[in-house]
A and B are shown apart, each in its own frame.
Chain A
Amino acid sequence: MSKATEPTGSPRASVLDRASPRGLAILGASTAVLLAATIAGALFLAPGDAIQGPAQRIFYIHVPSAWIGGLAFLVVFVASIAVLATRSRRWDRLAASSAEVGVVFTLAVMLTGPLWARPVWGAFWQWDPRLTSYFVLLLLYLSYLALRGYVNEPMRRARYSAVLGIVAFLNIPLVYFSVQWWDSLHPGPVVANPEGPQLPGSMLAVLLLGLLAFTLLYLLLLWLRIDLTARREDVEVTA
């Protein structure tokens, strides 16, 4: 591989290279405690919903997974712009890792959503604007990961996937506003509502706890994924 085609990176080590065992242990333990508290709060402490019954409790993992999936793709978008501006391997590593972790969060949304829809709507799936645009979002980021698998030359792979990482993000506003722009079966925003949060304080508290827990889970998975990529690159260089 020629030096001219290799994405560059600063020689200084950073959190975008390696995860420290102590840092991972602290982050892992904090994530586990907060996730356990979220599950306990969601299943046993939060008040039941009079109309939806127990199915409403899926909301406490479905909504944070969707929000953090969106955050992961925002990170891909920003890191992709940075890749095109700096040609840095570190930004490419961050974009690729965040895309993969974001796909995991998106799959969690796609698994938990239908299990809520079946008892509430009477069907696992509807080709509704929110569900359809979200399915397209999943396909876009799966194609991002597939593209990375097809291009071997690192600089070209970084450039091509950065373009797709920027274009794919344009679907996020479509997903978010789909429930307002078109007739949708999917519930509208209950927290970011113009008239304030449309749920009781005890439900909001569990939701915010879940949001914090899933944010830490995202950081943990992202850090491990970046660390793994950096280690693989080191093995390839020394091989």
Chain B
Amino acid sequence: MDVWGYTIAAYVLAALLYGGYLTALLAQRRAIRRRSR
């Protein structure tokens, strides 16, 4: 892999981590709101 490959991989992995965690929080929040309605 060339050096740009490592750089882009770092950005993609960070986006997946932060984005995945945010999505999980929003999904759990939506599920609890639906259940408590």
Contacts and interface: CB of A to CB of B under 8 A. Distances in A.
Interface of A: 39, 43, 53-55, 57-58, 61-62, 65, 104, 107-108, 111-112, 115-116, 118-119, 217, 220-221, 224-225, 227-228, 231-232, 234-235, 238
Contacts of B22: 220-221, 224
A227 to B, nearest CB: 7
A10 B36 CA distance: 23
Contacts of A111: 10, 13-14, 17
A231 B14 CA distance: 28
Interface in B1-37: 3-4, 6-7, 9-11, 13-14, 17-18, 21-22, 25-26, 28-29, 32-33, 35-36
Given A112-B13, A231-B33, A235-B36, 6 more contacts: A55-B7, A108-B18, A112-B10, A221-B18, A221-B21, A235-B35
A65 B10 CA distance: 12
Interface of B: 3-4, 6-7, 9-11, 13-14, 17-18, 21-22, 25-26, 28-29, 32-33, 35-36
A175 B25 CA distance: 29
What secondary structure prevails in chain A residues at the interface with B?
A: helix
Contact of B25 (A112, A115, A224): A224
A138 B34 CA distance: 34
A49 to B, nearest CB: 11
A226 B22 CA distance: 13
B19 to A, nearest CB: 10
B18 A217 contact: yes
B25 A235 contact: no
**Nearest 9 pairs of A and B residues by beta carbon:** A115-B10, A112-B10, A224-B25, A58-B10, A231-B32, A54-B7, A119-B3, A115-B6, A111-B13
Contacts of B13: 111-112, 115
Nearest to A57: B7
Contacts of B11: 39, 43, 58, 61
Contact of A112 (B14, B29, B32, B35): B14
A238 B4 CA distance: 53
Contacts of A234: 36
Contacts of A118: 6
A195 B18 CA distance: 34
A225 B25 contact: yes
A78 B34 CA distance: 34
Contacts of A119: 3, 6
A228 B25 CA distance: 7
